[in-house]
A and B are shown apart, each in its own frame.
Chain A
Amino acid sequence: MSPTSILKKPSAPNLPSTDKAVNPRHLEVALHHANIIENQKNVEKEILKAILDLMDFPTDPKADPARPSPADAAAFCNPLNLFQPSDYDSLIEERNLAEHCGYALCPRPRKKARNNARRHLITTENGVQVVEKKALEVWCSDDCARRAMYVKVQLNEEPAWLRRGGVGQKIELMAENQGEHQIALPLRLKGTNAPATEQMSEEDAAWAMRDEALAELAQERGEKPGQLSKANDVLIAAEIKENTDSKTPIAPSAEGMGHSHFAIEGHVPKADLKKEHDSSEEEYEAEDGDEDQEGEDADDDWDIAEMVEDELDAVLQDT
């Protein structure tokens, strides 16, 4: 048994040897990644907790999904900032497994298909449609399906632990009592001076919000609060220059572009150009009567042009 030989590998060649000081840059990168992993774990746990809460939501069996109470609406919307659309699908799935309508603000049970057939014929505005049994049994009604999708399209595709621009704006609901929710949820600052907001004028509040946003941004970048980094300085010192003498845009024309159709990402291959030159010289010489050769060369050139064009097409299609 010699486990030591397997595990105690000599340090990898690209790592600094032990007698030199640890490269702070490497340490920073390692820390950065460790932070992301830590962040991911926390976010995943938060999402799980939210789904556990929202799985049997709302608590009032008489709640109306069209007019949710402000408290219910907040309990639903607040954690959604962290959700990706796939997490939202998980929530719907878990609610369905608990026999609830997929929309988390609806207390009704999900619809049950009339029988166990895998596909069902449904009459809709667009005529009769074939619907999978599974899809049919997600919601209690089409209204809830619409409300739930209205929320889903607002979710951020990017995992919350990788988002640079903060968690994003508040999720809006499709509800008849929109106004109530705004009144019930006044904009509050998270910072330490939060209690003072009530006395603040609107403008002061706006400035405070900007400061807070900047502080959050700085924290996201890994800077210490109140300490401006170089990057920050540059951002603030940047001068805004208005483009005053703008002209009416002109559509690009094909004239005067010369060999541009040979260009590959803006670069015109010289080898081909030279060949074309040669062929034109030959054209000139061809007056001497060597017509066969000229024909062949022209063919070659045509092939190259075609190839370049094909390639361009392929690139365009890829993008």
Chain B
Amino acid sequence: MDNANLSRMWRVFKTTKEMCADRGYSVPEHELNITFDEFKQEYGRDDGDVDRTKMNYSCQPSESMLLKYSDPPTEKNPNPEPQIGTIWVEFNGDDNAGLKHLRDYMHFLNQGNFYSGIMITPKQMTGMALRFLRTSTTIDEGPKGGVEVFVEQDLLVNITKHELVPKHVLLSAEEKKQLLSRYRLRETQLPRIQQSDPVAKYLGLRRGQVVKIIRKSETAGRYASYRWCI
């Protein structure tokens, strides 16, 4: 049974690595392809269960990600600061995580100068903790880039690898500007994608960002559509 939990956490761990890579963080190839035996070696406990505290890790954004998250340079601001930075991924072992855990986590991120964080919990957090997450930007706590939470269950499989899920690609601010001017559109005219949509969550989309969705079609080959994140 403990081995089952270990293999479960191995799958969750791999999904988080893939997720970070897909968002544009630099993740070494061998970490993406970690085998079960390697995982067991590194994160298994003597009693056969998993040691979640060892699983935590941080990721640096790649060059292309930094570029994607920077506003186009202007005369006034020739070197705009990227709206992204180091992310901290934490596996919280508490069955019941609440406001207290979330707040402690935010303080930890602030002290470690992390730009954003992802917390993975065995079960859904309390309702108040989720409310705190939604309003933390207005309450002015936590890191600049915000905190995301996932339940382990949601990361057992990588949804974006499912054949029916089309490829989602985030547009940079510059690309978004070009798209809108090419079609003479306002962003509000684009179809929308909820921030809570599973793929939007996977990519960590922020309000106002635009994703390009590339579908395969038997008649038209490949075609793209765009969605505005709300």
- Which residues of A are at the interface with B, using a C-beta cutoff of 8 A? 1, 3-4, 6-8, 44-45, 48-49, 51-52, 55-56, 90, 93-94, 97-98
- Cα distance A49–B129 in the bound complex, in angstroms: 11
> How far, in Å, is B100 (CB) from chain A's closest CB?
4
B185 touches A48 (CB 8 A): no
**Among B97, B132, B225, which residue has its beta carbon within 8 angstroms of that of A1?**
B225
Taking A1-B225, A93-B126, A94-B126 as contacts, is the C-beta distance between A52 and B185 under 8 angstroms?
no
B103 touches A3 (CB 8 A): no
- Cα distance A44–B131 in the bound complex, in angstroms: 8
Identify which of B96, B98, B185, B226 gathers the most chain A CB atoms within 10 Å of its CB. Answer: B98
The answer to whether B79 has its CB under 8 Å from any CB of chain A is: no
**Among A3, A6, A51, A56, which residue has its beta carbon within 8 angstroms of that of B185?**
A3
Q: Which residues from chain A contact B129 at a C-beta distance below 8 Å? A: 94
- Which residues of B are at the interface with A, using a C-beta cutoff of 8 A? 96-101, 103, 126-129, 131-132, 135, 138-139, 183, 185, 189-191, 223-226
A3 touches B190 (CB 8 A): yes
Top-5 shortest CB links A-B: A97-B98, A98-B100, A90-B128, A94-B99, A94-B98
**Among A49, A55, A90, which residue has its beta carbon within 8 angstroms of that of B100?**
A55
Q: Which residues from chain A contact B128 at a C-beta distance below 8 Å? A: 48, 51, 90, 93-94
> How far, in Å, is A2 (CB) from chain B's closest CB?
10
- Cα distance A49–B127 in the bound complex, in angstroms: 14
> How far, in Å, is B104 (CB) from chain A's closest CB?
10
B98 touches A48 (CB 8 A): no
- Cα distance A98–B130 in the bound complex, in angstroms: 16
B126 touches A48 (CB 8 A): no
Taking A93-B126, A97-B126 as contacts, is the C-beta distance between A4 and B189 under 8 angstroms?
yes
A7 touches B98 (CB 8 A): no
**Among A7, A49, A52, which residue has its beta carbon within 8 angstroms of that of B103?**
A52
A7 touches B99 (CB 8 A): no
Q: Which residues from chain B contact A6 at a C-beta distance below 8 Å? A: 191
**Among A1, A45, A98, which residue has its beta carbon within 8 angstroms of that of B135?**
A45
Q: Which residues from chain B contact A55 at a C-beta distance below 8 Å? A: 99-100
Identify which of A4, A48, A49, A51 gathers the most chain B CB atoms within 10 Å of its CB. Answer: A48
Q: Which residues from chain B contact A51 at a C-beta distance below 8 Å? A: 99, 128
- Cα distance A97–B100 in the bound complex, in angstroms: 7
Taking A3-B185, A7-B191 as contacts, is the C-beta distance between A49 and B139 under 8 angstroms?
yes
> How far, in Å, is A221 (CB) from chain B's closest CB?
29
Q: Which residues from chain A contact B189 at a C-beta distance below 8 Å? A: 3-4, 7-8
A97 touches B101 (CB 8 A): yes
Name the residue on B nearest A8 (C-beta): B189
> How far, in Å, is A55 (CB) from chain B's closest CB?
6
Name the residue on A nearest B128 (C-beta): A90
> How far, in Å, is A135 (CB) from chain B's closest CB?
15
A97 touches B99 (CB 8 A): yes
